């Protein structure tokens, strides 16, 4: 049966206490760090999804997000390159609606069913902005999740699905807007969320012949912390035993990634043979019937969600959050290049070493070198190199320092198995990057200068987020 073979998740390390935006409010929401966006979070989820897997059967990558950093420029290509997937595959961006993740999932399943692809990666990520003090800002959350859809060994079968569309202005953001907009809540819920979700779910139950009691878990996208409970009750589900709680105050509404992340969370306690209902919303609704198969426990146990939710740091204040999102105008402390800017051809010809973090290994003496060299720095052999990916290597800090002007941390990082990189260090204080501290590489967005018109992404070292 076609279904989900593997999955990966990513939640940024940073949390904003909700008290910072609504005095006295308990709980928190994940926020992307200053060097994170939907693309970097998607890369992290895909890497988690592919850990320990053979990548050769993957024939496509779909990226779903309403917050792609580019209006014109595909990002699935960048995610595929950063996760070291081959170029001979189908890539596509899905956007415009928070249900674009489940839509991509359905289309991936259709492609596998039809035989046009063996496996397709579907990754959803969002980093949405609500205006200061708004419910969108309080309820939001940044994160990502990736599903690998395949035809064999699918621990979560994608058994059936239905969709409804709904042309409505309930929640929207124009291309030129920074913040999410919405109409009056009661209109949005009545004629938007409740109506479409109800129609899609009832259609799915009718199509599959399943009754409410037949579902072990019900996973409903939830815009606000209340409405999924109301919807579940209305449809006759037991909101206590069947409904996956929407995790407000912990995870928040992670937008396009939300149905995926809630599904991963709902796998807790699912047994082989269980039916799971998954429904997303955004100008209509997709409802999916998933069937837990043999291996679901194994699939569930690879979840890093608990670790990622536990491993966190608080954003110190609201100004810091605004600064990270580019919403605060401050004097740029950096020295501006008066003549040059990041060069597209330079990035293009070096994309293996930049985006896939390939080093070179000398076949004459074995020395691993980064960036890739043509003359070996140890034995001076010329052009005797093989590429070696370094992004997934364990690593340790050799040196570290704090830039007094920008506050950025930099250091030399030694890879297990050889090789060294001089790079930025992120998601931690200088004290967490002492000599011999264990780190791993994380794909991040670089802050460019005003003279730059592209976007640059590169790898930085981060402290490990293991252990609870």
Partner 1 sequence: MSGFKNEVAIIGMGCTKFGELWDTDVKDLIIDACYEAFEDAGVEPKEIEAAWWSSMISGELGRSLAYPLKTDYIPITRVENRCAGAQDAFVNACFSVAAGVYDMVLVCGAEKLKDSGVAAAGVDPTTPYTSRVDSLTVPPTAFAQLAQRYFHHYRIDPVEGKEVLARIAVKNHHNGALTPKAHFHNEITMEQALKAPMVSPPLGLYDCCGVSDGGAAAIITRSDLAKKRRNDFVLVKGFGVSTGHYQAQVRDDWSYVHFEENVRAAKQAYARAGIEDPRKEIDLASVHDCFTITELIICEDLGFSARGKAKDDVIAGTFGLKGELPVNTDGGLKCFGHPVGASGLRMLYEVYKQLQGKAGGRQLENPRTGLIHGVGGTPMESSTAAVIIVGKRD
Asked if 366 is part of the footprint of partner 1 (rule: CB under 8 A), the reply reads no
Asked if 368 is part of the footprint of partner 1 (rule: CB under 8 A), the reply reads yes
Restricting to residues 333-362, name those near partner 1 by CB under 8 A. 333, 335, 337-343, 346-347, 350, 354
How many residues of this chain bind partner 1 (CB under 8 A)?
Answer: 51
Minimum distance from CB of 350 to partner 1 (Å)? Answer: 6
Contact call for residues 243 and 222 (beta carbons, < 8 A):
no
CA distance 243 to 220: 8
Minimum distance from CB of 441 to partner 1 (Å)? Answer: 13
CA distance 5 to 118: 11
Q: 59: which residues sit within 8 A by CB, 6+ positions away?
A: 89, 90, 116, 117, 118, 119, 120
CA distance 258 to 228: 13
If the CB atoms of residues 113 and 396 are measured against partner 1, the closer one turns out to be 396
Minimum distance from CB of 454 to partner 1 (Å)? Answer: 9
If the CB atoms of residues 328 and 448 are measured against partner 1, the closer one turns out to be 448
If the CB atoms of residues 25 and 377 are measured against partner 1, the closer one turns out to be 377
Restricting to residues 393-412, name those near partner 1 by CB under 8 A. 398-406, 408, 410-412
Q: 86: which residues sit within 8 A by CB, 6+ positions away?
A: 55
DSSP 75-104: SHHHHHHHTT--SSSEEEEE-SSTTHHHHH
Burial class (CB in 10 A: 0-12, 13-18, 19+), 295: middle
CA distance 277 to 262: 11
Asked if 245 is part of the footprint of partner 1 (rule: CB under 8 A), the reply reads no
Q: Which residues pair with 60 in a beta bridge?
A: 90, 120
Minimum distance from CB of 341 to partner 1 (Å)? Answer: 7
CA neighbor of 408 nearest in space, from 334, 306, 322: 334
Residue 43, φ and ψ in degrees, nearest 5 = -60, -45
Asked if 458 is part of the footprint of partner 1 (rule: CB under 8 A), the reply reads yes
CA distance 200 to 193: 11
Considering only 133, 316, 371, 389, the residue that binds partner 1 (CB under 8 A) is 371
CA neighbor of 60 nearest in space, from 158, 126, 147: 147
Run of H or E residues at 110: helix 100-114
Considering only 2, 367, 441, 462, the residue that binds partner 1 (CB under 8 A) is 367
Asked if 377 is part of the footprint of partner 1 (rule: CB under 8 A), the reply reads yes
Considering only 181, 185, 373, 384, the residue that binds partner 1 (CB under 8 A) is 373
Contact pattern for partner 1 over residues 130 through 149, marking x by CB under 8 A: --------------------
If the CB atoms of residues 258 and 400 are measured against partner 1, the closer one turns out to be 400
> Which span sits near partner 1 by CB under 8 A: 53-61, 109-117, 192-200, 422-430?
422-430
If the CB atoms of residues 105 and 421 are measured against partner 1, the closer one turns out to be 421
Q: 72: which residues sit within 8 A by CB, 6+ positions away?
A: none
Minimum distance from CB of 424 to partner 1 (Å)? Answer: 5
Asked if 110 is part of the footprint of partner 1 (rule: CB under 8 A), the reply reads no
Torsion over CA of 266, 271, 274 and 276, rounded to 10 degrees? 10
> Which span sits near partner 1 by CB under 8 A: 16-24, 31-39, 100-108, 414-422?
414-422
Instruction: Return residues touching partner 1 (CB under 8 A).
Output: 333, 335, 337-343, 346-347, 350, 354, 367-371, 373, 377-378, 398-406, 408, 410-412, 414-415, 418-424, 430, 435, 446, 448, 452, 456-458
């Amino acid at each position: 049966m076609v279904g989900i073979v593997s999955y990966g998740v990513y939640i940024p390390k940073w949390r904003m206490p909700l008290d910072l935006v609504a005095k006295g409010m308990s709980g928190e929401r994940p926020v992307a760090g200053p060097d994170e966006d939907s693309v970097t979070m998607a890369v992290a989820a895909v890497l988690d999804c592919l850990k320990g897997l053979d990548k050769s059967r993957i024939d496509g990558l779909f990226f779903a997000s309403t917050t792609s950093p580019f209006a014109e420029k595909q990002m699935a290509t960048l995610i595929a390159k950063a996760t070291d997937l081959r170029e001979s595959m189908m890539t596509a961006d899905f956007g415009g609606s928070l249900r674009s993740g489940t839509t991509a999932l359905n289309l991936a399943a259709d492609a596998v069913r039809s035989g046009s692809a063996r496996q397709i990666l579907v990754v959803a990520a969002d980093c949405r902005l609500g205006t200061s003090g708004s419910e969108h800002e309080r309820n939001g959350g940044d994160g990502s999740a990736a599903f690998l859809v395949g035809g064999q060994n699918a621990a979560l079968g994608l058994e059936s699905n239905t969709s409804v569309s709904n042309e409505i202005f309930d929640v929207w953001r124009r291309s030129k807007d920074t913040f999410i907009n919405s109409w009056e809540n009661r209109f949005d819920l009545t004629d938007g969320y409740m109506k479409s979700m109800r129609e899609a779910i009832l259609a799915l139950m009718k199509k599959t012949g399943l009754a409410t009691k037949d579902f072990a878990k019900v996973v409903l996208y939830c815009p606000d912390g209340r409405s999924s409970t109301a919807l579940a009750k209305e449809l006759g589900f037991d909101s206590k035993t069947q409904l996956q709680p929407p995790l407000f105050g912990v995870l928040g509404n992670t937008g396009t990634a939300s149905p995926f992340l809630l599904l991963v969370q709902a796998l807790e306690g699912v047994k082989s043979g269980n039916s799971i209902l998954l429904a997303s919303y955004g100008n209509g609704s997709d409802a999916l019937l998933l069937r837990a198969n043999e291996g679901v426990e194994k699939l569930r146990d690879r979840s890093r969600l608990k670790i990622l939710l536990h491993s966190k740091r608080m954003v110190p204040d609201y100004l810091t959050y605004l600064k990270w999102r580019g919403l605060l105008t401050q004097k740029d402390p950096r020295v501006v290049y008066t003549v040059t800017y990041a060069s597209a051809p330079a990035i293009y010809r070096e994309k293996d070493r930049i985006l896939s973090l390939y080093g070179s290994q000398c076949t004459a003496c074995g020395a691993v070198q980064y960036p890739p060299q043509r003359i070996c720095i140890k034995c001076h052999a010329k052009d005797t190199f093989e590429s070696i990916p370094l992004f997934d290597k364990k690593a340790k800090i050799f040196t570290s320092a704090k830039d007094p002007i920008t506050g950025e941390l930099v250091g030399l990082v030694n890879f297990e198995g050889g090789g060294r990189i001089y790079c930025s260090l992120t998601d931690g204080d200088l004290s967490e990057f002492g000599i011999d501290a264990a780190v791993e590489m994380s794909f991040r967005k670089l802050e460019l200068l005003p003279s730059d018109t592209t976007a640059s992404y590169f790898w930085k070292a981060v402290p490990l987020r293991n252990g609870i």
